[in-house]
Amino acid sequence: MPTGVHIRDVREQLFGAADRVLLRAGPSALTSRAVTAEAGCAKGVLHRHFADFDDFLAEFVQARVHRIDAQAAALRRAAGTGTVTGNLTAALTAVFGPAAVAIVALVTFRDGLRARLRRTRPAGVPILTEAAGMIASYLDRERDLGRLDAAADVDTLAGTLIGAGHMLFADPGSAPPDAEAVRRTVTTVIAAALTPPP
């Protein structure tokens, strides 16, 4: 792209380009040159908006993490409706879409990015941490509604569901698991905590 041409929503354009490169070729292919080429702009555009490439990646990850907020609100609204197993199956399937799984791999792959993220996120892996919080909040509501045992440890259940969910979805070489495989995992994790239906 010639210099001097104004680009609308530069940051989102660059983040969208990073999404595409990451999904198509994986974390090792995500370079500033690959992002700007995918976005159709000069390499200098990225460096005018971000201190360096790790700064760009940290903001890219943060922007993608915020997408979980809408999912969390929808899951909390679902408490008391449908079945706990069905709600959790849908939530895990939504959380572990291809972009989220790729971002977890990116954070794991890049030491500089992890160090940059630690400045504002001292613990956990972005997306996985937020997803566990989302699940724990939902389970807490279900416990308050009596659909989960009063003694259920919602934080442990949430962490277990996120870990098991990530294992199901994380293999880039195979198709995502079907709903029944996710449902079986959810059922196994939460079975002892569910209260019997009236």
Tally of residues, the chain: 198
Cβ-contact 156, 54 below 8 angstroms: no
Residue type, 167: M
Cα distance between residue 30 and residue 103, in whole Å: 11
Tens digit of each residue's pLDDT (9 = 90 or more) over 157-177 = 999 999 999 999 987 667 889
All domains in the chain, ordered by first residue: 10-49 (1.10.10), 62-193 (1.10.357)
Rg of the chain, C-alpha, whole Å: 19
Cα distance between residue 142 and residue 193, in whole Å: 11
Predicted TM-score (pTM) of the model is: 0.84
Tens digit of each residue's pLDDT (9 = 90 or more) over 68-124 = 888 899 999 999 999 999 999 999 999 998 888 888 889 888 888 888 888 877 677
- Mean pLDDT, residues 60-74: 88
Burial level of 86, CB count in 10 A (0-12/13-18/19+)?
middle
Contacts of 47 (CB under 8 A, 6+ apart): 32
Burial level of 92, CB count in 10 A (0-12/13-18/19+)?
buried
What angle do helix axes 10-25 and 53-65 make, rounded to 10 degrees? 90
Reduced to 3 states (helix: H, G, I; strand: E, B; else coil), residue 171 is coil
| Nearest by Cα to 56 from 91, 21, 84, 86 | 21
Tens digit of each residue's pLDDT (9 = 90 or more) over 24-51 = 998 889 999 999 999 998 888 998 989 9
Structure tokens at 45: 């555009």
Structure tokens at 104: 């977890």
